[in-house]
Structure 1
Amino acid sequence: MNYIYLLINIAVIFFPMVLSFDKKVHFFSKWKFVLPAILLTGVVFLIWDLLFVKLNVWSFNPDYIVGIQFFGLPLEEILFFLTVPYACVFIYECLNAYFPKDSLQKYSFSLSNLFLGLCIAMLFLGYNRWYTVINFGFLFIVLAYVEYFNVKFRFMYKFYRAYLVSLIPFYIVNGFLTSIPVVIYNDKQNLGFRVGTIPFEDHFYLMGLLLMNIYLYEFFKSRATGKGIN
C-alpha cells in the first residue's frame, strides 16, 4: 500500500512519455524547452509545498508513501512536480499539433479578466486561510503578468484549451489522492468547499502550475527560435 502515490506518479507520466515520440507532435524534440520550464516552476512550488507542510495546510498519509523524504517532503510529492507538468505540457502540445486553429483567441483576454476577478473575490472571501490566499494570490500575479505585461507572444487560448482537457486526468488523479486519502487537507486553511473529495482551490492550483510551466516553456522556445507564438 505504501507505493500508491509512487504508482500514481508513474501512471501520470507513462503514456505522455511513450507518446512523446509520436511523429506529428515530436514532443521529445522539445524537451530542451520543457525541462527547464518544469524545473524552475518546480522550485517555486516545492518552496510553496514546504511552507504549506509547516503551516499545516496539508500533510501526507504515511500509509501510502514509501517513506523517503527530502527537506521534509515525500519523494512522491517532489516527483509530482515533474510528472504532472510534463503530462500537461504534452497535452498542450498535442492539442496545438492536431488542432492548430485559434479562432477563439480573441475571447481569451476577457476570460482571463474573469479569472482575475475571481481571484480577487476568493482573496476577499478567504483572506484568513493560507491555501486560499497563497493559491489565488499566486494565480492573480502570474495571470496578470502574462496578460498585461507579456507583449511578445500570445498563447492564452491554447493554454485555456489545454487546461480544460487537463481537468479530465486531474479529476482522476486528484480524486485518488484526496479520496484514499494520500494528501490530507486541513479545511481550516481552505474554503471548505469540495468537488467530490477535491478542494475547490485545487482547480486553480493546477491552473497556476500549468500556466507558469507553459509560459516558461513558450518563453524558452521563443528565445531559441527568435519568433513569437503564432
Structure 2
Amino acid sequence: MKFTYLLINLACVFFPLVLSFDKKVHFVSKWKFAFPAIGITGLVFLVWDLLFTRLQVWSFNPEYITGPALMGLPVEEMLFFLTVPYACMFIYACLDAYFPITKKDRFSLPLSNLLMGLCIAMIFFGYSRWYTLINFAFLFVVLFFVEYLNHSVRFMAAFYRAFLVSLVPFYIVNGYLTAAPVVLYNPAERSGMEVGTIPFEDHFYLMSLLLMNIYLYEVFKKRAARHGTA
C-alpha cells in the first residue's frame, strides 16, 4: 500500500498532537522550544539520511511510499524527523509534568559512561560498517558533549526515563517498518545483531535523535526563562 509509511507517520503524531492541549502538560505552550529543536536536529539527521541513502546503507520499498522524494529520500522519511521527535518529546514533557524527578540524580552519568564504553566497543568492532560506525560515533560525541561539556542544563535522568518509555511505540512502529519491510537495510553495513526484525543500531539511532532534540529543547527553555519570555 503506497500510503503505509505516510499513515505510520500520521499515527505517530496524532495522539501527541491532540493531547498537547492537556491542561497539566499544555505542551502547546512549549512549541516555541520544541519546533526549533526539531528543525535543527532534523537538518542534521536529514544530511545523515541522504548520505546513507546515496551510499545504499538503506533504501525504501517503493510499494509502501507515495513517490515524492528529495535526492532519493522519500517525503515520508523527512516527515519521520518531525513526527517521531514530536511524539517522544511529548512523552518527555508528560512524564516531567505528572512524575517530576525530585531526587538527586546519581545514575545518569554512570549510565552515560557505560553507553560511551559500548559506543567505543561497537566502533572498534564495526568500523568497516557505515551504519555501525557513524551511528555509535555520533552517539558518543553527543553523550560526551551533554555530560562533560554542557554546563547549562541537566536533564539526563528525565531523558533516560523518557527514552525507556519511548521504546514501547518504537518497537511497534519500527517493528512494522522493518518487518514489512518499508525500510530495507544493507546487511553489509550493519552489525547483523537484531531485536526481532529491528537492527541493534536502530535503538541507538533513536537515542541520538531524541537526545539532540531534548538537549536543544531544554536549552531554549532555559534561555527563555533567563530572559523572562518562557
Q: TM-score range by the shorter chain?
A: over 0.9
Alignment of 1:145-156 (within 5 A): 145-156=145-156
Measure the CA separation in 1 of the matches of 2:140 and 2:76.
28
**Deviation by residue 1:136-178 (Cα, 9 ceiling, x = unmatched):** 0000000000000111221000000000000000000000100
Measure the CA separation in 2 of the matches of 1:103 and 1:190.
39
- Which residue number corresponds to residue 108 of structure 2? 108
Structure 1 contact 57–131 (Cα < 8 Å) conserved: yes
- Which residue number corresponds to residue 81 of structure 2? 81
Counterpart residue type for residue 139 of structure 1: L
- Which residue number corresponds to residue 189 of structure 1? 189
Measure the CA separation in 1 of the matches of 2:152 and 2:40.
21
- Which residue number corresponds to residue 214 of structure 1? 214
Structure 2 contact 54–72 (Cα < 8 Å) conserved: no
Counterpart residue type for residue 105 of structure 2: Q
- Which residue number corresponds to residue 67 of structure 1? 67
Structure 1 contact 20–27 (Cα < 8 Å) conserved: yes
**Deviation by residue 1:10-29 (Cα, 9 ceiling, x = unmatched):** 00000000000000000000
- Which residue number corresponds to residue 167 of structure 2? 167
Structure 2 contact 12–83 (Cα < 8 Å) conserved: yes
- Which residue number corresponds to residue 48 of structure 2? 48
- Which residue number corresponds to residue 29 of structure 1? 29
Counterpart residue type for residue 225 of structure 2: T
- Which residue number corresponds to residue 119 of structure 1? 119
- The CA deviation at 1:104 is 6.0
Counterpart residue type for residue 38 of structure 1: I
Counterpart residue type for residue 122 of structure 2: M
Measure the CA separation in 1 of the matches of 2:7 and 2:102.
36
- Which residue number corresponds to residue 128 of structure 1? 128
Measure the CA separation in 2 of the matches of 1:28 and 1:218.
15
Measure the CA separation in 2 of the matches of 1:110 and 1:138.
19
Measure the CA separation in 2 of the matches of 1:9 and 1:20.
17
Counterpart residue type for residue 5 of structure 2: Y
Structure 1 unaligned regions, length at least 5: none
Name the TM-score, length of structure 2 as normaliser: 0.97
Counterpart residue type for residue 92 of structure 1: Y
- Which residue number corresponds to residue 20 of structure 1? 20
- The CA deviation at 1:71 is 2.6
How many residue pairs get aligned? The number is 227
- Which residue number corresponds to residue 179 of structure 2? 179
Structure 2 unaligned regions, length at least 5: none
Counterpart residue type for residue 30 of structure 2: K
Identity of aligned residues (%): 68
Measure the CA separation in 2 of the matches of 1:50 and 1:27.
31
Name the TM-score, length of structure 1 as normaliser: 0.97
- Pairwise CA RMSD: 0.9
Q: Secondary structure at the match of 2:77?
A: helix
Moved over 4 A (4+): none
Measure the CA separation in 2 of the matches of 1:153 and 1:90.
19
- The CA deviation at 1:39 is 0.4
Q: Secondary structure at the match of 1:66?
A: coil
Structure 2 contact 101–158 (Cα < 8 Å) conserved: no
